[in-house]
Amino acid sequence: MLRLPSNFARGLTSTLGACLLVAANSAAQAPSPATTAATHEVVDEAGRSIRVPLSPARIISLAPSLTETVYALGLQDRLVGDTDYCDYPPEAQKKPKVGGAINPSLEEIAALHPDLVLVTKDFNRLETVRALEALGIPSYAIDPHTVADILSSTHKLADVLGAPDAGKTLENELHQRLAALQTKLAGIPPRRVLFIVWTEPLISIGKQTFIADALREAGAVSIVESEQSWPQMNLEEVVRLQPDYLVFAASHSSGAERDFDVLAGRPGWDILQAVQNRRFAVISEAVNRPAPRIVSAIEELARQLHPEVFREASPPSKDVPAAKPAPADRTSSSSLTIPITPSSAAKELACAR
Amino acid sequence: MNTIARSPLASPDRPNANTDVRLSVEQVSYAYSPNPSQAPIFTLEALSFQAKPGEIVAVLGPNASGKSTLLKLISGALQPLSGRIFLNNFVIHSLPTKTRAQRIALVQQESTLIFPSLVWEFVLQGRHPYGRSLRFESESDIIIAKNALAQVGALHLSDRPMDKISGGEKQRVILARALAQQPLLLLLDEPTLHLDIGAQVDLLDNLRRLAAENRYSVVVVTHELNLAGEYADQVVLMQKGKCLRVGSPAAVYQRELLEQVFQAPLSVVIAPSGRPRVTLFSNT
Amino acid sequence: MRPLTLGRLFLRCGILAIILFIVVVIALKLGAVQVSLYGLGRDLIHVLLGRSNAISTEYGMVVINIRLPRILLGIFVGAALAVAGTSFQALLRNPLADPYVLGVSSGASVGAILALIVENHLALSPAFAGLVTPVGAFLGAALTIGAVYLLGRHNGQIDSSTLLLGGIITASFLQAVINFLMSTVLGGNLRGASYWLMGDLSTPQPRSLLYVLGIGFVIAAGAIYTTAADLNLLLAGEKEAMHLGVDVRRVRIVVYLAASILTGLAVSVSGTIGYVGLLVPHVMRLVFGSDHRMLLPAAALGGAIALVIADTLARTVVAPSELPVGAVTAIVGAPLFIYLLRRRLA
């Protein structure tokens, strides 16, 4: 009678696997090609200490907001890759793509030989950052929670990228615009608003998000008190709080009007005074991205919420990156509110991107 | 037919007893408690009988007479409450499972096969008690399995899947698996239940022949009066857990006794062969 | 009558291993970065022989550090899931059983999500950081294994139908816990959790973890293999198996524990990848029959082949994006399942 030692067939697979593992192990211990450029240590906004070249020449951005910021700083020539969702400015769509923000292709990233990868703590996954670390590719994370954070993030990012002047200029310009806005809005009570991320289920933004802070800068205050980032709201609670305005972020304002009408027809929503009086504001999706363009979105919102302050409005400001022309940024249409009649000066159709 | 010689048994529990008797059931009883607070229910009251090599014993009785319990006790699945059961002077219940499987083979209605195997694979399972867990079957195992199939006349079914053969054929294949175990004792639980009369006679003819040729002791649980009468060498008549009589069919098949056990009007006639034949009457 | 012999087993497993090897080579070649197989082979041999330390940077870093570990992970997870699926189908006497039916994967998911939550509050050194999620997942799996075992006992031993019921109830309860955690505690940070739950091989695992997985697989799968002949008998009927000398109680416990551990290991690194554990055993049964001494190794190799193919498709079909590998197995698996079902009924 035959006596069979156990795991014979398994041994086959295991041996195969073991050979490959050994090869992988020894090969992987090969040092990655040393960078000849000088490097320095920086601490990113997630508290990580990373070593980057003084002036990174090949950058990959893993978040649309970071792509926008890089363009705003005028450093787009150094951007060698971005995600499928990086669509602003339009030229960004022509850059080599590495996949989504959550599941980028590690191979694509590695094949582009970047010096530095830019990520955001909120949007990207920790696993991606760790995987890049294991490959010897440093990543720099931003983590802004307020509009002021966004400005300083931009400045710090410019420093890390070796273009401190561009950063300072941009930051100053944005700062001035915000300060001007604050002056205009001084003394005016803020509007109470509900910022709607999604209608079914009803999802809004929490106090700690930069969007909530952006609302504040625009002369508004979010009625949502939650600590979560994307809290799901109870419609009854919203009715109890009766916001003055509903705020949507959309890419096309005409679409937003239609969406609002659909929403107004749903049961329960018509109890809201904001719905009955058609008080809603539509701003560009830039408000969702912690990038310089958020300041334009803030200005848009302020215009819609406090039109009386902007009667003698100056022409809408543009996103001006340092020393490079940028596409004009147009404001979205304002809503009809009673008793204020639509002002021709404030009414411009837009296709915010 | 080849019966491969088997190694002599190790020292028995009763070395000096009668070596002519293969199976000895001695004052065996069984009871169980459905729950701890209730008094135990006796499914089997003390009974005894013996079986020699080559003998067929029929355990006969109506439903719920304790027949199945008796079979489980003999097979070693249950431990008797009192008394002991000896197989060639070894206490059955204290044998290790593998050894027991080498000496006692059970033929039952088999449950539905989830992943049906082929007939020869099924019969080869009977060789399982003879090897270590991981071994593959040897040449002698295959020969024994083939012989077993031949002895039940099912060799032509070897390559068929188990779910593609008839009920009678399946019964034969199950018997073949039992034979492949090369047992000393064959236990059958109501083997004729789903068979037509031709298949029933077939099966019992086979059993009688095999018992004689291979010197098996066979214990068949049944409620078929005439089959038991025709084929059994001994009958154990049971009712409600009690053994009423043990003996040859002619001795056990007394009209009043049978009528009392089976609760039906009967008549018993002894045929020229000496075997009793039982006829049923209707009440009208 | 062609009984299984050692020679036949080797031959068939050898063929499957060759197929696996070819699939691995193709998988190494396909991807975002062009790879020259000749150059790769030459470099690998040099490395194995210890002749050179570095691999030319053209493709070496990509292939060795990204693709190869991913392929190895696919081999391990595919083999583990297929072996676990085969074992559960035998243990529960149910052709619809898969590795997740007893709730092990739901327990692992709960563990992983809790680990994700805890991780946000801990500042761990990089050496440990990558281990929190898999360890959390495995702990969740282990606790579930214990709980379902206690639920599945009847008269002191594991009973197939009770076990199945206990497992389904546990799985469903844990799913509710997952939904609760995802909607409240995690709040909006669902991306990481849902990505994990979909089944994903793209996250590189720490090397130490890969070794643990390999050893765990060999031990658990080996333990199941020792009961292979017993499983054949068990499937023909429990009482009969007992009378044929099978220690039913021991076999049940060994198979239950080992198969659950395999599932737990697989799920803790890859999330819940479906259809592999369910279908690979059936396909292998069609080809090789139900003898578990052949079926178990065949399922292991077949599962590895299937998952490496699925993962390669997942990362190449919509390049540069990736599909979650669970989606690919579902798209291929569902029609295959319908086909097998009809064939069985015919």
Q: What does the pLDDT look like over A151-204, one tens digit per residue?
A: 999 999 999 998 999 999 999 999 999 999 999 888 889 999 999 888 777 889
Residue ending a domain, among A166, A198, A221, is A166
C196 touches chain A (CB under 8 A): no
Q: How confident is the model at residue A343 (pLDDT cuts 50, 70, 90)?
A: very low
Phi, psi of C36 (to 5 degrees): -95, 115
User: Do A162 and A199 belong together in one domain?
Assistant: no
- pLDDT of C190 reads 66
Phi, psi of A53 (to 5 degrees): -65, 155
Q: What CATH number does the domain containing A205 carry?
A: 3.40.50.1980
Residues 6+ apart with CB under 8 A from B106: B71, B75, B178, B187, B188, B189, C239, C240, C243
Average pLDDT of chain A to the nearest whole number: 78
In this predicted model, which residue has the larger pLDDT, B247 or C55?
B247
Q: What is the 8-class DSSP label of residue B157? A: G
User: Do A144 and A220 belong together in one domain?
Assistant: no
The most confident of the ranges A122-136, A324-338, B139-153 is B139-153
B143 touches chain A (CB under 8 A): no
Strand ranges inside A82-234, DSSP E: 116-120, 139-142, 191-196, 220-222
Residues 281-320 of C with CB under 8 A from A: 296-297, 300-301, 304, 315, 319-320
Assess contact for A33 and C57: CB atoms under 8 A.
Answer: yes
Residues of chain C found within 8 Å of residue A22, distances taken between Cβ atoms: 48
State yes or no: pLDDT of A292 exceeds 70: yes
Reading phi first (left if > 0) and then psi (alpha if -120 to 50, else beta), residue A293 is in alpha
Q: How many domains does chain A have?
A: 2
CA distance C8 to chain B (A): 11
- pLDDT digit string, tens, across residues B164-211: 898 888 889 999 999 999 999 999 999 888 788 888 898 899 999 999
Phi, psi of A249 (to 5 degrees): -110, 120
User: Do A222 and A151 belong together in one domain?
Assistant: no
- pLDDT digit string, tens, across residues B41-54: 888 888 999 999 99
Residues of chain A found within 8 Å of residue C183, distances taken between Cβ atoms: 232
- pLDDT digit string, tens, across residues B90-135: 999 889 888 999 999 999 876 677 888 899 999 999 999 998 767 7
> Predicted ipTM?
0.83
- pLDDT of A95 reads 92
Tell me if A1 and B135 make a contact (CB, 8 A cut-off).
yes
CB pairs under 8 A between B and C: 93
CA distance A21 to chain B (A): 29
Quick one: how far is CA C322 from the chain centroid? 20
Q: How far apart are CA C44 and CA C60, in angstroms?
A: 10
Residues 9-28 of B with CB under 8 A from A: none
The most confident of the ranges A35-39, B190-194, B276-280, C199-203 is B276-280
Domain extents in chain B: 23-280
Residues of chain C found within 8 Å of residue A108, distances taken between Cβ atoms: 32-33, 319-320
Q: For the residues of B55-77, what is the DSSP string, one character each?
A: -EEEEE-STTSSHHHHHHHHHTS
Assess contact for C123 and C283: CB atoms under 8 A.
Answer: no
- pLDDT of B15 reads 66
Domain extents in chain C: 80-345
Residues of chain B found within 8 Å of residue C93, distances taken between Cβ atoms: 114
Assess contact for A195 and A225: CB atoms under 8 A.
Answer: no
- pLDDT of A7 reads 44
- Retrieve residue C342's tokens: 């009809």
Assess contact for B127 and C245: CB atoms under 8 A.
Answer: no
- pLDDT of A347 reads 35
- pLDDT of B102 reads 94
Residues of chain B found within 8 Å of residue A2, distances taken between Cβ atoms: 135-136, 138
Kindly tell me the burial class for residue C205, based on how many C-beta atoms sit within 10 Å of its own C-beta (0-12, 13-18, 19 or more). buried
Please name the helix (run of DSSP H) or strand (run of DSSP E) that holds residue B43, with its range, or none: strand B41-51
Assess contact for B61 and B116: CB atoms under 8 A.
Answer: no
Nearest to B122 among C226, C236, C242 (CB): C236
Nearest residue on chain B to C233, judged by CA atoms?
B125
Superfamily in which the B23-280 domain is placed by CATH = P-loop containing nucleotide triphosphate hydrolases (3.40.50.300)
State yes or no: pLDDT of A72 exceeds 90: yes
State yes or no: pLDDT of A221 exceeds 80: yes
Chains interfacing with B (3 or more CB pairs < 8 Å): A, C
In this predicted model, which residue has the larger pLDDT, B283 or B107?
B107
Q: How many CB atoms lie within 10 A of CB C344?
A: 10
User: Do A112 and A223 belong together in one domain?
Assistant: no
Please name the helix (run of DSSP H) or strand (run of DSSP E) that holds residue A214, with its range, or none: helix A210-217
pTM of the predicted model as reported, rounded to 2 decimal places: 0.81
Say which range, A32-36, A290-294, C173-177, has the weakest mean pLDDT.
Answer: A32-36
Strand ranges inside A39-85, DSSP E: 39-43, 49-53, 59-61, 79-81
How many CA atoms lie less than 13 Å away from C175 in the CB half-sphere? 11
- pLDDT of B33 reads 80
Q: What residue ranges of chain C have pLDDT lower than 50?
A: none
CA distance C86 to chain B (A): 12
- pLDDT of C179 reads 87
Domain range for A272 is: 189-346
- pLDDT of A319 reads 47
- pLDDT of B26 reads 92
Tell me if A2 and C6 make a contact (CB, 8 A cut-off).
yes
- pLDDT of C123 reads 63
B167 touches chain A (CB under 8 A): no
Chains interfacing with A (3 or more CB pairs < 8 Å): B, C
Residues of chain C found within 8 Å of residue B114, distances taken between Cβ atoms: 93-95, 235
Stretch B204-221: mean pLDDT: 93
In this predicted model, which residue has the larger pLDDT, B74 or C133?
B74
CA distance A4 to chain B (A): 5
State yes or no: pLDDT of A109 exceeds 80: yes
How would CATH label the architecture of C80-345? Orthogonal Bundle (1.10)
Nearest residue on chain A to C323, judged by CA atoms?
A103
User: Do A201 and A318 belong together in one domain?
Assistant: yes
- pLDDT of A268 reads 78
User: Do A69 and A155 belong together in one domain?
Assistant: yes
Nearest to C243 among B75, B113, B135 (CB): B75
User: Do A155 and A209 belong together in one domain?
Assistant: no
